[in-house]
């Protein structure tokens, strides 16, 4: 049998032999299009000097591609039942370490220090779609010493995450991403490239971590509090949403908008990151 990790017959054979059943609630859709993993590694600019953190190994198809190119790969996988399979599929590699944990509970800063030392580090993944945003926010908010994050997400999520400022799709996540990184949509991937196929199209996105701050609010936490409040009730105006969520007086919010030269009927998606920064400085004093 063709033992390529993109061969569906081999995947089924592996699952049978190890008594492994795919877990829908872990977002297990494995890549079976052989062109995709090399493309992800290339967009991430993985080379022999760098370390890579992979989130969610599945049966190891992307892990293997990354290990062929990188100095070291540390892969975090929540599903204990995949470990025996990975013992077989990744047996040829001595530069892969698997950590059997929930990525949201891993101290990634510590992991990077211990596992990668001075190596430049990148994050690559075909993300479990049910926790795309929490994972991306954790990677960004922890201010990890990483160069880029190159991940597969649902196409709709990609549009929201990479939305330009003041565009229709702009939201709390795109503003946060824009604060920490420069986002790019790299390419789309059709459902047939996965086993089992998901219902929707996917996209690979790359977030290049910003070296310098794009805006400098007096208090970062307050800026994000304001952003979250503004988008809690998306169809409302900025004034109504912020006053309902944070209990601020409408006239204070209208005054703040006037100070930055905006009108009181503006909607949250029409404000830029810089304007949110300025508004949070004014509103939180």
Report the interface residues with ligand SAM, using CB under 6 A.
Answer: 26-31, 55-58, 61-62, 76-79, 102-104, 126, 128, 131
| Residue, CB closest to ligand SAM | 56
Least distance in Å: CB of 186 to ligand SAM? 15
Least distance in Å: CB of 129 to ligand SAM? 7
159, 161, 198, 196: which is closest to 181 by C-alpha?
161
Nearer to ligand SAM, 126 or 148 (CB): 126
Distance CA 64, CA 90 (A): 7
Least distance in Å: CB of 9 to ligand SAM? 16
Nearer to ligand SAM, 37 or 209 (CB): 37
Q: Which two tokens stand for residue 223?
A: 């800026």
Q: Which two tokens stand for residue 40?
A: 């992800």
What is the distance of C-alpha 142 from the center of its chain?
Answer: 13
Which residue is associated with the tokens 């805006």?
Answer: 215
Least distance in Å: CB of 93 to ligand SAM? 15
Nearer to ligand SAM, 99 or 246 (CB): 99
Least distance in Å: CB of 28 to ligand SAM? 5
Distance CA 22, CA 15 (A): 8
Distance CA 20, CA 269 (A): 45
Beta-sheet strand order (sheet of 181-189): 96-99, 72-76, 51-55, 121-126, 148-154, 202-209, 181-189
Nearer to ligand SAM, 61 or 271 (CB): 61
Nearer to ligand SAM, 70 or 242 (CB): 70
Nearer to ligand SAM, 79 or 252 (CB): 79
Least distance in Å: CB of 45 to ligand SAM? 19
Distance CA 243, CA 224 (A): 15
The helix-helix angle for 220-232 and 238-246 (nearest 10°) equals 110
CB atoms within 10 A of CB 197: 12
């Amino acid at each position: 049998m063709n033992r390529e990790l993109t061969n569906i017959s081999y995947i089924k054979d592996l699952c049978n032999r190890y008594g492994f059943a795919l877990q829908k609630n872990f977002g297990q859709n494995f890549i079976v299009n052989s062109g995709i993993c090399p493309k992800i590694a290339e967009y991430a600019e993985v080379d022999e000097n760098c370390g890579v953190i992979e989130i969610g190994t599945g049966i190891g198809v992307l892990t293997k591609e990354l290990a062929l190119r990188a100095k070291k790969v540390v892969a975090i996988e929540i599903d204990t039942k995949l470990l025996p399979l990975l013992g077989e599929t990744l047996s040829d590699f001595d530069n892969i370490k698997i950590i059997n944990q929930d990525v949201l509970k891993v101290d990634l800063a510590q992991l990077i220090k211990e596992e990668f030392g001075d190596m430049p580090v990148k994050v690559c993944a075909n993300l479990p779609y049910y926790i795309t945003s929490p994972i991306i926010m954790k990677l960004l908010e922890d201010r990890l010493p990483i160069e880029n994050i190159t991940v597969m997400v649902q196409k709709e999520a990609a549009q929201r995450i990479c939305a330009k400022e003041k565009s229709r799709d702009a939201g709390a996540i795109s503003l946060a991403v824009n604060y920490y990184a420069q986002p790019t949509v790299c390419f789309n991937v059709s459902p047939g490239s996965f086993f089992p196929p998901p219902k929707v199209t996917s996209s690979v996105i790359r977030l290049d971590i910003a070296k310098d701050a794009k805006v400098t609010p007096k208090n970062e936490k307050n800026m994000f509090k304001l952003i979250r409040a503004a988008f809690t009730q998306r169809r409302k105006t900025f004034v109504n949403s912020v006053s309902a969520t944070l209990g601020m007086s409408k006239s204070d919010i209208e005054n703040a908008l006037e100070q930055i030269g905006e009108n009181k009927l503006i909607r949250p998606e029409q404000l830029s990151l810089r304007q949110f920064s300025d508004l949070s400085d004014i509103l939180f004093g």
